[in-house]
Amino acid sequence: MENTVETANMVANNTAAAAEQGSWFGMLVYCAVVFGIIYFFMVRPTKKRMAEYQKMLDSLKVGARVLAGGIYGTVKTINEKTIELEIAKGVVVEVNKNAIADVESK
């Protein structure tokens, strides 16, 4: 009978160790899946949108009609960080390039 108790204890100890190791691996897989989901549904689309936005800013040309800060205007000059917009005849304002929301196609 003592032999049976010892065998049962050994089996219980081995099972507990295997379960502990399995739960650690399962948690690692779970974390990898969660990070993968976050990447594919949040990070990747944001990077794609930012790349498209940067492409739009890089394609700006003098004479293009843009929407910047809720105001439509025509691009007069393009600087490194700013552009000058003519919003009415003879009225030119300087705005940050990042304020541009849309470029109208002709």
**Residues 70, 93 within the same domain:** yes
Total domains in the chain come to: 2
pLDDT in tens, 46-56: 999 999 999 99
User: Which burial class, exposed, middle or buried, applies to 66 when counting CB atoms under 10 A from its CB (0-12, 13-18, 19+)?
Assistant: buried
**Residues 69, 53 within the same domain:** no
pLDDT confidence of residue 27 = 87
Given a contact cutoff of 8 angstroms between Cβ atoms, the answer to whether 73 and 80 are in contact is: no
Spatial separation of the C-alpha atoms in residues 82 and 10, rounded to whole Å: 74
Find the helix or strand (DSSP H, E) in which 12 lies.
Answer: helix 2-38
pLDDT in tens, 73-83: 999 999 999 99
* Better-scored residue on pLDDT, 27 or 6: 27
**Residues 84, 36 within the same domain:** no
**Residues 9, 42 within the same domain:** yes
Question: Phi/psi zone of residue 63: left (φ > 0), alpha (ψ -120 to 50 degrees), beta?
Answer: left
pTM greater than the 0.85 cutoff: no
**Residues 73, 87 within the same domain:** yes
